[in-house]
Amino acid sequence: MGNQTAYQSLTQTFQRLHRFGHLSAIASWDQAAMMPAKGNEARAAAQAELQVLMHQLITAPELKTQLDAAAQEELDAAQRANLREIGREWRQANLLPAALVEAKALAAARCEHAWRSQRKNNDWQGFLPNFREVLRLAREEATLLAEATGVSRYDALLDKYEPGMTSANLERIFGDVKTWLPGLIAQVRDKQSGERVIQPQGPFPVEKQRQLGLEAMGLLGFDFDGGRLDVSSHPFCGGVPEDVRITTRYRDDDFVQSLMGIVHETGHARYEQGLPRDWLSQPVGRARSMGIHESQSLSFEMQLGRSRGFLQLIAPLIRKHFGDQPAFDADNLARLYTRVQPGYIRVDADELCYPAHVILRFEIERALIDGEIEAEDVPALWDEKMMAYLGVDTRGNYRDGCLQDIHWTDTFGYFPSYTLGAMYAAQYFSVLRKQTPDLDSRIAKGDLAPVFDWLNANIWSQGSRWSTDELVARATGEALNPAHYRAHLEARYLG
């Protein structure tokens, strides 16, 4: 060790964790995008082994001594922020025994792998035994974290993805949304019922969709030397900041879904590619929270991608790949991309219906983790809330109901991030438009620099330097204010 400071010793350990995390991320991407089915057992075992190894590293007894010593050392502001984030990760990991970490990884892999066929077969009863085990372990984890931090079980899991956020705060924010969202959806559907929307006429060959997607990624500034585009059953952005892996899925009768999916994932990717390079191996160099991550993909997809200016910019590219047809007129594309139609599937939901899907999941998963309901209660609650919030009947349709998401096979506390992200994104663009009054006409001309420059300066380059509230306040002048979100939706859909 020589003359190393305690802080330097900690950063070395976290650099090792970062490199193991790199391997784990690429192996996970491969599992979702490339791996043949028979590889699953071996991959799950290898990933679980790697998780145990990483857990041993972060729970080594000497880290406690180093953390205490580093707190007394002379550090600059960035190092101090890094020490804060190291401490946060260390505390979370040390509250969980290695046996629980391994059991969770294995149960999640088993549940997720079986879910793939169970969802196709509408087989809720088949899914239930694996799901019960995942839930049991999630509650065990939540209990350990909650006892140590003095918060509720659900808040303890929420804090992993949204540091500082509480379910009380979410209930207030989402409770407000529930008072105006159903009325706004009804109002907009009434308004749109008189609009003529021309549907694009397929088929749209997958290879041409792929080329269009790659061009869109180029427009959006994706660095192809530091990432790639592939296919998976559930679109995601994975990999690592130096090698970002985006996936999408294609249907030859609909290019709209894959194109906006790619725009969405490119937002995640640009955040990863824009994180502070000098700090990448350290916790302070990571994305701030899942809500902030989602605010990047929704800045790209909802604020930018579905704006009239961007659709004017992309219309010629759509014509280039699929030929000319009346549906590809920019105004028609704008109507197409802002069509409000309540449906079953969250990932296909329009911008207005999407938060209802998220609120429903938040309410169910909070009740599950806090022990108010059991796994077998999910379908009935799901049916009731889908009908109340969106007027959609899901009875008996598990495939398009409570089996549609991959998340509950291994993760609780994540769903609120999606709507928090939409709220943050609306707040950014409210400020951006004030600072750049001609933003929309610049976007239409292909000048997207004001958007990227602002996000890079205020969000990407900041990593985890600040708390979420402070990051947002520094960028926009105030912490999260959901009023911007409502104003954005009313302006776009009723304006």
pLDDT score recorded for residue 178: 95
Q: Which two tokens stand for residue 182?
A: 């159903």
pLDDT of 1 strictly over 80: no
8 Å CB contact between 404 and 119: yes
pLDDT score recorded for residue 488: 98
Average pLDDT of span 179-203 = 96
Q: φ, ψ for residue 240 (rounded to 5)?
A: -135, 165
Strand order through the sheet with 227-231: 227-231, 243-248, 237-240
Residues 6+ apart with CB under 8 A from 147: none
pLDDT score recorded for residue 493: 97
pLDDT score recorded for residue 106: 92
Q: Average pLDDT of the chain? A: 95
> Which tens digits make up the pLDDT trace of 48-100?
899 989 999 999 999 999 999 999 999 999 999 999 999 999 998 899 888 99
d(CA 70, CA 75): 8
Q: Point out the residues that are catalytic.
A: 265
Percentage of the chain modeled with pLDDT above 90: 92
d(CA 269, CA 326): 33
pLDDT of 172 strictly over 70: yes
Q: φ, ψ for residue 467 (rounded to 5)?
A: -65, 160
pLDDT score recorded for residue 2: 58
Q: Which two tokens stand for residue 375?
A: 């796994």
Is the torsion defined by CA of 386, 391, 396, 398 positive or negative?
negative
> Which tens digits make up the pLDDT trace of 428-457?
999 999 999 999 999 999 999 999 999 999
pLDDT of 139 strictly over 60: yes
8 Å CB contact between 474 and 461: no
User: Partners of 134 in the beta sheet?
Assistant: none
pLDDT of 29 strictly over 60: yes
> Which tens digits make up the pLDDT trace of 236-285?
999 999 999 999 999 999 998 899 999 999 999 999 999 999 999 999 99
